Amino acid sequence: MKGCNLNERSQAKVFDPMEPGGDYMLDCADPYDNMIATELLRLATLKKGCFFAKLDAKPSRDAPKKLTQSIKLVRKEATRPVPAKGAKTLLDLTFHDIDTNDAGVITLAELHGVLDCRKYADVAAQVPILEAAVQSLESRLSVPNTPSMLQYHALEMQIHTLTQKHAIRETELHVLLQNATQSSKMEVMQLKQRHEQAMAVKRAEIASFQAQ
């Protein structure tokens, strides 16, 4: 943040610990600037590749007794992968993100809130991975690959085949029953006709005998 005066809160510029390199004008009497100066000192002391290129101390025009530090922090190019945009880790969070009420200090409740949000975000990030694992497991289980599963699959196929054969046989029997019923009705009608014809012949013979 080269050329950025962090004392000017109206510009809404905040210190980014992931990109600390740049020029800073800090008033260490201010709690916010003091926190940033402390973090810069920690990075220059502990973080590999970070160091102060120039450090100036001069009195402030508004408050001559206060000292303003001009700090320039130089950092080598990062070798680790940069996190995706929009996905903040705990290291990506700034003081402004945690200090939700702009009080200049971080309370225990605010810290707990950030940790809870990160916990839920981590769980939510695992949901697509878990869903993919479940789908993969279901696909693997749907394919028989053990002796017992192969035997069970074979029995299912046999039951399905027998069910189809039973349905076909039932249809054939139904057709045969209909044919037999129709044939029986025709035989009954033929016998009835023969009986009526025989009775007509007998009645004719009786009438002829009576006429004689």
Q: Is residue 149 part of a domain?
A: no
Structure tokens, 115: 């940790």
Arithmetic mean of pLDDT over the chain: 73
Tokens coding 146? 């053990």
* 71-121 per-position pLDDT tens digit: 565 655 545 444 444 555 555 566 666 667 777 776 777 777 777 777 777
Tokens 């139904």: give the residue. Answer: 174
Cα–Cα distance measured from residue 27 to residue 7, given in angstroms and rounded to the nearest whole number = 7
- Mean pLDDT within 30-40: 82
Residue at which a domain ends, from 85, 114, 146:
85
Q: Which of 61, 85, 109 is the last residue of a domain?
A: 85
Report the sign of the C-alpha dihedral through residues 50, 54, 55, 61, in that order: negative
Q: Determine, yes or no, domain membership for 101.
A: no
* Residue 103 located in a structural domain: no
Domain of 73?
A: 9-85
Beta-sheet pairing, 22-27 with 67-75: antiparallel
pLDDT at 76 (0 to 100): 53
What integer is the mean pLDDT of 135-150?
79
Q: Hunting for tokens 């044939």 — which residue is that? A: 183
Q: Which residues contact 25 (CB under 8 A, 6 or more apart)?
A: 5, 6, 7, 68, 70
130 lies in a domain?
A: no
Does a structural domain hold residue 113? no
Question: Of 85, 105, 139, which one is at a domain's C-terminal end?
Answer: 85
Domain membership of residue 180 (yes or no) is: yes
Q: Is residue 116 part of a domain?
A: no
| pLDDT tops 80 at residue 203 | yes
Domain count, the chain: 2
Is 143 among the domain residues? no
Residue 3 has pLDDT above 60, yes or no: no
What is the spatial distance between Cα 204 and Cα 201, in angstroms, rounded to a whole number?
5
> What's the predicted TM-score (pTM) here?
0.26
